[in-house]
A and B are shown apart, each in its own frame.
Chain A
């Protein structure tokens, strides 16, 4: 009886392992396909392999390629670089501000009991559960209504409204797992709350703060929907540029651009996740 049960359990685990590995293959397969296609020299049908090339990568940066000129697709490398530069500026600004705001809020809610604490806890969750499109159009109506010019600044402000919540969650988790003995000792030894924060609390929660910042940075960098509504006519970010390209049709340059964006995102996210998950 025991033997039978044990075998069936091992059989179950083997089946689970196969299923789990299949899941990972399905999760990464489509992304791998883009990666492979991005090196395929075939300009007509990328599903048919025609040899290895870096041309699509060279092309998005306006470098010399061996391609016939009529296959050119990106009208303007300058436009792409401008969009990339906009995206980096927006992501830096929005994640810096939201890291400060989110961390301060996390500190207040983790270390103090006060009237309205539940309200703030609920408020911090709201922007995360709100569908992007609702937040996007609410901000659009608001900005247009008060005469706030749509552009990079409105995108930064819009991103801050939901990024602060992400930072809040990450830093709160760090604070919850933290030993308060050191803070108490610092206060008992006569340090002011500010000194205690600078010398004790901040160094201890720093991995959470930096992790939250990096996650906010890539969420901002990759945001499509909210940016789409509040960008206005002049400000173009990288995702909006890619959306524009996709609407005009599928071309090999998109493969290369997608791979670069994905690689950059995964590296930053990996560091952010590592910092977030690191033990105290």
Chain B
């Protein structure tokens, strides 16, 4: 059954094996995304339905374009988009700074210790996001762990306002997404050729030079991969912002949720989701092409 020319029997096998996924993802993934694209160009109806006419103004509304009816130019949605981008990027940077040294630590461990630590670092990947958020609610709220501790220690009189801020949302996102960053970087560091690092040091490079010229470029694929894997859910998340940010810290995800479950403006919600999807697809496309180019270059050299 090794790879070879697709003959008659083989063709039947391929078709049989791929039929289920074609049905599943064709009907329940590709078609829904297509319908969402169509919806983003429909006019919202008065009572939550849609009007079947071409209506490109949903996209204009995102950048603050007023749609008749006394609406004025208002960049509120741009503000929310900007805040989401800022928070998602901050999440990437913070989790990168946290995870990068940890990856080196794990890579240098030996035997059962390495397996145990790797296991412990992977496990939270599967924990329920609500439980993670809940833990930080317990820690950061006015009568929570941190404030109780600080008041008891006499360091503060009034509880600090830690929750319902961009800070608490950032903490929640980082805690939730750190395992997503660690694993790609670790996989990269594990394959790092330490002979090159040694050679750099032997040739008289300072540790900082070795890091900048050798270690950093060699681990860049892991950094980029981890960053993309963290950036996407950070940008799209709405539960963390809703529970740890409250009404004050809205992200695009919250805006989309409101369009669907409260404002009942589905076309505008679909438009926001389309924009988010475009950002994500563009990122992944650039990443995949760049990786393919790098692999081709490596093949050409090797």
A binding-site residues for B, Cβ under 8 Å:
5, 13, 16-17, 19-20, 23-24, 27-28, 30-31, 33-34, 37, 45-48, 100-102, 104-105, 107-108, 111-114, 120, 123-127, 129-135, 137-142, 145, 157-158, 160-161, 164, 180, 183-184, 187, 193, 196-197, 201, 215, 218-219, 222, 224-225, 229, 239, 242-243, 246-247, 250, 254, 258, 261-262, 265-266, 269-270, 273
Whether a CB of chain A sits under 8 angstroms from the CB of B124 is yes
Chain B residues contacting A5 (CB-CB under 8 Å) are 201
- CB within 8 Å for A222 and B127 given contacts A23-B102, A27-B121, A45-B143: yes
- B24 touching A161, Cβ below 8 Å: yes
Contact B128 A141 (CB under 8 A): no
Answer yes or no: B164 CB below 8 A from chain A CBs: no
- Point out the residues of chain B lying under 8 angstroms from A247, CB to CB: 243
Does B35 have its Cβ within 8 Å of any Cβ on chain A?
yes
17 sampled A-B residue pairs with Cβ under 8 A? A16-B105, A34-B138, A47-B149, A105-B20, A108-B18, A114-B14, A123-B25, A129-B284, A133-B273, A135-B29, A138-B35, A193-B13, A215-B126, A222-B127, A225-B238, A262-B131, A265-B128
Q: Does B209 count as interface, using CB distance less than 8 angstroms?
A: no
> Does any Cβ of A come within 8 Å of B218's Cβ?
no
Please tell me the size bucket of the interface on B. Answer: 35 or more
Chain A residues contacting B133 (CB-CB under 8 Å) are 246
Q: Are A120 and B232 in contact (CB under 8 A)?
A: no
Measured in the bound complex, the distance between the Cα atoms of B17 and A180 in whole Å is 19
* Segment of B3-11, B59-67, B72-80 in the binding face: B3-11
CB within 8 Å for A112 and B25 given contacts A16-B104, A222-B129: no
Q: Which among B17, B104, B134 is the interface contact of A254 at CB below 8 angstroms?
A: B134
Closest to B124 in A: A27
Query: Which B154-197 residues have C-beta < 8 A from chain A?
Result: 175, 178
* Other 17 A-B pairs with CB < 8 A, given A222-B126, A242-B131: A19-B101, A47-B144, A108-B13, A108-B17, A108-B18, A114-B6, A123-B21, A133-B256, A133-B257, A137-B269, A138-B35, A140-B260, A142-B35, A222-B127, A242-B134, A258-B135, A269-B125
Closest CB-CB distance, A101 to chain B, in whole Å?
A: 4
B165 to chain A: closest CB distance in Å? 18
Verify B269–A180 contact, CB threshold 8 A: no
A130 touches B138 (CB 8 A): no
Residue of A with least CB distance to B174: A26
The answer to whether B119 has its CB under 8 Å from any CB of chain A is yes
Question: In the bound complex, do residue A239 and residue B128 qualify as a contact, i.e. CB atoms below 8 Å apart?
Answer: yes
Q: Hey, which chain A residues are within 8 Å of B137, CB to CB? A: 246, 250
Contact A107 B17 (CB under 8 A): yes
Of the candidates A100, A139, A242, A243, the one whose C-beta lies within 8 Å of that of B28 is: A139
Those 10 A-B pairs whose CB atoms lie nearest each other, nearest first: A131-B236, A30-B135, A20-B105, A108-B17, A142-B32, A47-B148, A138-B32, A269-B126, A222-B128, A16-B105
Contact B102 A19 (CB under 8 A): yes
B17: nearest chain-A partner, CB-CB: A108
A104 to B19, CA, bound (A): 9
Cβ proximity bits B99-126 to A, threshold 8 Å, 1 near / 0 not = 0011011101000000001011111111
Tell me, rounded to whole Å, the shortest Cβ–Cβ distance linking B39 to chain A. 6
Residues of chain A lying within 8 A (CB to CB) of residue B117: 20, 24
**Are the CB atoms of A120 and B18 closer together than 8 Å?**
yes
A196 to B9, CA, bound (A): 14
Given contacts A19-B101, A161-B25, A218-B126, contact A33 B253 (CB under 8 A): no
Q: Is B289 an interface residue (CB 8 A)?
A: no
Q: Are B135 and A31 in contact (CB under 8 A)?
A: yes
Return A29 CB to nearest CB of chain B, in Å: 9
* A100 to B213 alpha-carbon distance, docked (Å): 47
Q: How far is the CB of B233 from chain A (nearest CB, A)?
A: 6
Residues of B within 8 A of A129 (CB): 232, 280, 284
Collect the chain A residues with CB atoms within 8 Å of residue B237's CB.
131-133, 225
Residue from the set B32, B122, B127 with the largest chain A CB neighbour count within 10 Å: B32
CA distance A164 to B22 in the complex (A): 11
Contacts of B260 in A (CB 8 A): 137, 140, 229
Instruction: Give Cα A164–Cα B178 distance, bound, in whole angstroms.
Output: 24
User: Whole-angstrom distance from the CB of B211 to the nearest CB of chain A?
Assistant: 12
B98 CB–A CB distance under 8 Å: yes
Q: Which residues of chain A come closer than 8 Å to B214, judged between CB atoms?
A: none
CB distance B277 to A201 under 8 Å?
no
